[in-house]
Structure 1
Amino acid sequence: MTKTAEETDIRFGVLGPLTVSAGDGSPVALRGNRLPALLTELLFHANRPVPVRRLVEVLWGDTPPKSYASNLHTYVSRLRDRGIPIDLVTGGYRITVDVADLDLLTFHAEVDAGRRAARDGDHALAARHFRQALEQWRSPELCAMDQPHLELEAIRLETERITVVEEWVDAELAAGRATEVLGRLDALVRQYPLRERFAAQFMRALADAGRRAEALEVYQRARAALVDQLGIEPGAQLRRAHDEILNGQ
């Protein structure tokens, strides 16, 4: 059986440009287009079998060569020659990676830990786990953006990242650290003017910092953006934040 990434000391990064690093930190070279495409597909489904038909589609689309099976085996062998742990399983291939060896797995593990801590009421611990999850993202330009076969996965992951940012802010606010997140929230509201949760969080952080008038101004700007760009009034969450601050709650 092929060794795991942990046993071969290989590290992978997909939350940003694709990186493959040996134990000493030196990069592992992947020439051409097909080796990166094959590896990213396996990494985005790490520790799960990927059917041969899917890998063939990734590499050749609707026009695979007659020798696709042997060609696929050749590409897998080239990855294995670089120490990358890929197993042949029933009907396909699987890369076996420890959570600590792939940033995507680390991201999900830290998010899960953060959500457990939030449910338990340990908001400081939740915030720490969410920060560690977000630190896995080296760039908003995922390696999947260079791989058409992963386009939908890239969109889904970016949506998940933004949700985790919101959960991190909630944890920080619940832990009493409104002042510490004001600068980040200001930037987030400017970057995502139609994201009502960010606006509501910014309003609460400003109010907690004693800046009630500024919090109400944030509401007016958010409402104007929603009306002008989408033709809708603010939703319940943003209205509730406005009413609570207006009433001094």
Structure 2
Amino acid sequence: MHRIMLFGTTTVTVDGREVSGPALGGVKPRQVLELLALADGAPVTKDRLVEMVWGDGAPASAVPTLESYVCVVRRAIGGVAGGRDSVVLTTSAGYRLDTTRVVVDRTECLQRLARSASAPVAEAVRSVREALTTAQAPLLASETRAAWADRERDAMSAHLAEACADVAARALDAQDVDAAVELSRRAVELAPFDERAATVRIAALEAAGRRAEALRCYLDLRRRLVDELGVEPGAEARARYLRLLTGPAEQAWEAPSRTELAALLELLRDTLGRVPGLDTVPVERALGRVASHALALL
């Protein structure tokens, strides 16, 4: 059985030996192997491989050169150049990996995420944690200049973030607050502009009694959205923020902590600073006085 690791440095393990780096035959043969591994056993045409490996600069001899690269890969990871006993199979549509004899870590990661969607909460939490462990290293770390590798990394981050947010929300409903806090943190790290991930994170922190961190989470989300995208948080995130400020009707009022007060003052300063035509100098002075008096009372 062959194992192809796409997270971190691309590596093939076969019969107890590891093949990576120059041993895979060079940059382009390695990319051919990676593209086949990303296809999860589906055939990839020669034209598609040429397009991905060379881009617009493909030479006239690209197809025969590609065929030679496939031979290089076969020899590097085991199997004769002709491919009869190789895990890299030739088809009428191009090439594909024999998934009965190859395991790809990216495929395993995506399968775990897919299982988490319908599994019971405890099993879903475990599946997502296993996927996160698999994805600790960057996907396709060997490819620093390939646009297709960037797209694959972005897609994987989106898959992981969505699963983390979904399972965190389910864990919160099941009153597994620790899992909700853990997975929502990873969701926000993976997708810092995702309002749903941040909203789940805020709810998890609130349930854990960490209101100051929840306020900070909203403030960070708002700053990213406003500064980078020029938009305010949506209705759900704002409603969660207002809930943090007021608390449930049945909850007794408690004095805010220094961290909470500092976060609220920072949010107020940021909001007022965006009012057209407002002189910010007296605003800063007034807020400074308010902050000093308020913090002195705590």
* TM-score bracket for this pair, using the shorter chain length: 0.7 to 0.9
- Correspondence for 1:131: 129
Matched, 1:27 2:25: no
Where 2:24 maps in the other structure, the secondary structure is coil
Q: Which moved more, 1:223-232 or 1:46-55?
A: 223-232
What percentage of residue pairs aligned between the two structures are identical? 29
Residues 131-155 of structure 1: CA distance to partner in whole angstroms, max 9, x if unpaired? 1222221313533544344333332
- Report the alpha carbon displacement of residue 61 of structure 1 after superposing the two structures with TM: 3.5
The answer to whether the Cα contact below 8 Å between 2:165 and 2:187 also exists between their aligned partners in 1 is no
Aligned to 1:49: 43
- Mapped partners of 1:45, 1:17: distance in 2: 18
Secondary structure at 1:107 match in 2: helix
Q: CA RMSD in A?
A: 3.1
1:72-221 alignment, distance < 5 Å: 72-81=66-75, 82-83=77-78, 85-98=87-100, 101-117=103-119, 122-140=120-138, 142-143=140-141, 144-179=143-178, 182=181, 194-212=193-211, 214-216=213-215, 218-221=217-220
Letter in 2 for 1:115: A
* One-letter amino acid of the counterpart of residue 124, structure 1: A
Q: Distance in 1 between matches of 2:49 and 2:188?
A: 40
Counterparts of 1:86 and 1:79 in 2: how far apart (Å)?
8
Matched residue type, 1:57: E
CA spacing shift, 1:227–1:99, aligned 2, 3 Å = farther
User: What is the CA deviation profile of residues 171-194 of structure 1, one whole-angstrom value per residue up to 9, with x for unaligned ones?
Assistant: 432342323554675676578654
How far residue 101 of structure 1 moved from its aligned partner, in angstroms, is 1.3
Answer yes or no: is 1:58 the counterpart of 2:60.
no
Q: Which amino acid aligns with 1:54?
A: R
Q: Which one is further off, 224-233 or 235-244? A: 224-233
Assess, with a 3 A threshold, how the Cα gap between structure 1 residues 25 and 116 changes in structure 2: closer, same or farther: farther
Q: Distance in 1 between matches of 2:223 and 2:151?
A: 31
Which has the larger displacement, 122-131 or 199-208? 199-208
Runs of at least 5 residues in structure 1 that lack an aligned partner in the other structure: 1-8
Structure with the larger RCO, 1 or 2 (CA within 8 Å, 6+ apart): 1
Please give the secondary structure, in 2, of the residue aligned with 1:16. Answer: coil
- The Cα of 1:30 is off from its aligned counterpart by 0.8
Say which SS state the counterpart of residue 87 (structure 1) adopts.
Answer: strand
Report the residue type matching 2:210 in the other structure. R
CA shift digits 1:53-109 (9 cap, x unpaired)? 112223443454444443322221222222251111113111122598111110111
Q: What residue is the counterpart of 1:248 in the other structure?
A: 248
Shift of the 147–233 alpha-carbon distance from structure 1 to 2, 3 Å rule, reads closer
More divergent stretch after superposition (105-114 vs 207-216): 207-216
Normalising by structure 1, we get a TM-score of 0.78
Whether contact under 8 Å (2:167, 2:183) holds in the other structure is no
State the alpha-carbon separation in 2 of the partners of residues 154 and 71 from structure 1.
27
Distance 1:175 1:146, change over 3 A: farther
**Structure 1 residues 20, 130: closer, same or farther in 2, change over 3 A?**
same
Whole-Å Cα distance in 2 between the matches of residues 93 and 191 of structure 1?
33
Matched position secondary structure for 1:61 = helix
What is the CA–CA distance in structure 2 between the aligned matches of 1:96 and 1:104, rounded to whole Å?
Answer: 16
The residue number in structure 2 matching 1:6 is: none
Shift of 1:13: 1.2
The corresponding residue for 1:40 is 34
Q: 1:187 to 1:54 in 2, by over 3 A?
A: closer
Change (3 A) 1:205 1:30: same
Q: Which residue number in structure 2 is paired with residue 5 of structure 1? A: none
1-side partners of 2:128 and 2:40: how far apart? 22
CA contact (8 A) 2:215 2:241 kept: yes
Task: Give the AA of the match of 2:5.
Answer: G
